[in-house]
Amino acid sequence: MKIIAGISNSHKPDEIEAYVNAGIDEFFVGYVPKEWSDEYGWELSNNRRETANYQYRTKEELANVVDLIRKQDRKVYLTVNAHEYNTHQTKLMLRILDNIRDIKFDGFIVSNIGIMLELQKNGFDIDMNVSIGAGSNNIETLRFFHDNFDNIGRFILPRKLTIKEIEYIARYAADNKIRLEVFGMAAYCVFNDEFCFTWHGPLNKCFCQSPMFEFREVRPLLFDSTWKKEIKAGSPESLYQRQPAIVNEIRQEKTAYYSKNPKPKPSAYELGNAYILANLGKCGLCTFKSFKDWGIEAVKLPLRGQSFRGNIAIVKMAKKVIKEPDPTPQFCRDLMRSPHFCSGSNCYYDYPYSK
């Protein structure tokens, strides 16, 4: 199983070799030249990353990094995976891609069917890897794309599938020679990327990281479908009585759990290596063996914009787990050396499969 990771102009060119040595097999990059940013700024990115330092900005930079990757005998993909492109954006995108035709990518990462059809029509016949932005949550979606496009590379499964669901899809894919990629570590989001239409980016912040979302409040729903009759009857006392009961139920369960299950204190190693955990977000290391067994081709580590030192540590851990013949959950925990980190809420797949 290969490791694929994103890089951008925030990574120095000489870091490519270090990434390869740490274990990255394939790279993906975004390209937002001035032609695009002069028209649409950064908020409406052509690849759903609304930050300048997650991209390459000039053809020269892009050609240079692709060349460095090629010299390391590694593959490189270009992200063209915005949710939507209007007519003008589509034409602009095709023009941008036409201008870099001489840079040899192994494929595009795409999610919008309109742009996929246009790429096909305009003779871009390299592989199209189906991004999580397309929402391949089931086998029928794999069939849909395979039946309608000639050059599908592989499918990147959405992060919100459970391990059991991934297994089900992967076994079908293996029988039908369909190639899959999954997420396994690092950034996780509350919402399904393919159906999240909110704003992202540093200036406007992600909706899910905004104070508005963070400080959401729970409100009991006191009325059922007969509410119109109920309010006509007009007995607010009984309705008021329902409210604290539900709120207390919620509070008591959470409080009781955390008083019984305090999180372990950070170890000395953990305190000294906080940068790794800061980059990690969530961890699914102990699922890698299953992914390998099911024939999944690649695991994605979304590392763009993170510190180089932390990224290298994560890639090395991932590679060790992939190489190990039988990486038990304990093997993974020992690598992480952080009982504080390896808990339910930091688990990429919520509950490890081994349970």
Partner 1 sequence: MKKQFDLHIYISDIKHLLNLEETLKIVPRPAPEIVEIMDENLIVNQSSLTTLKDFMDRYYGLQYDGNVEGIYYGQETCENLIPSLKHLEQAVEYCSQNKYIFTLATPYVGPKGMERLKKLFDYLHSNAPDCEVVVNDFGVLHLLNTQYPNIKVILGRLLIKLKRDPRFSLSGFDIANVGIKNLKKVETNQNEALKGTSLELPVYQKFLRSKGVERLCLDTLSQGMDQKTFKKWGFPVDLMWPWTYITSSRSCSIAAHTQPGKEYHPTDEPCHYQCKKYEFTFRSDKKMLPSFFRGNAVWLNTKSLHKEYFQLGFDRLVYQPYIPV
Residues 213-242 within binding reach of partner 1 (CB under 8 A): 213, 215-223, 225, 227-229, 231-232, 234, 236, 239-240
Minimal distance in Å, beta carbon 114 to partner 1? Answer: 3
CA distance 220 to 66: 54
Q: What crossing angle do the helices spanning 15-22 and 308-323 adopt, rounded to 10°?
A: 30
Among 203, 271, 274, 278, binds partner 1 (CB under 8 A): 203
CA angle 194, 19, 4 (to 5 degrees): 30
Site string for partner 1, 10-39 (x = CB under 8 A): ------------------------x--xxx
Q: Count of residues for the chain?
A: 355
User: Could you tell me whether strands 185-186 and 282-283 are parallel, antiparallel, or unpaired per DSSP bridges?
Assistant: antiparallel
Contact call for residue 261 and partner 1 (CB under 8 A) = yes
Count of residues binding partner 1 (CB under 8 A)?
98
Among 140, 150, 175, 326, binds partner 1 (CB under 8 A): 140
Contact call for residue 262 and partner 1 (CB under 8 A) = no
273-332: contacts with partner 1 (CB under 8 A): none
Minimal distance in Å, beta carbon 106 to partner 1? Answer: 24
Contact 335, 272 (CB under 8 A): no
CA distance 223 to 225: 7
148-187: contacts with partner 1 (CB under 8 A): 148, 158, 160-162, 164-165, 168-169
Burial classification of residue 206, based on how many CB atoms lie within 10 Å of its CB (0-12 exposed, 13-18 middle, 19 or more buried): middle
CB atoms within 10 A of CB 136: 25
Site string for partner 1, 45-64 (x = CB under 8 A): -------x----x-------
Residue 10 has which token pair?
């925030």
Contact call for residue 197 and partner 1 (CB under 8 A) = yes
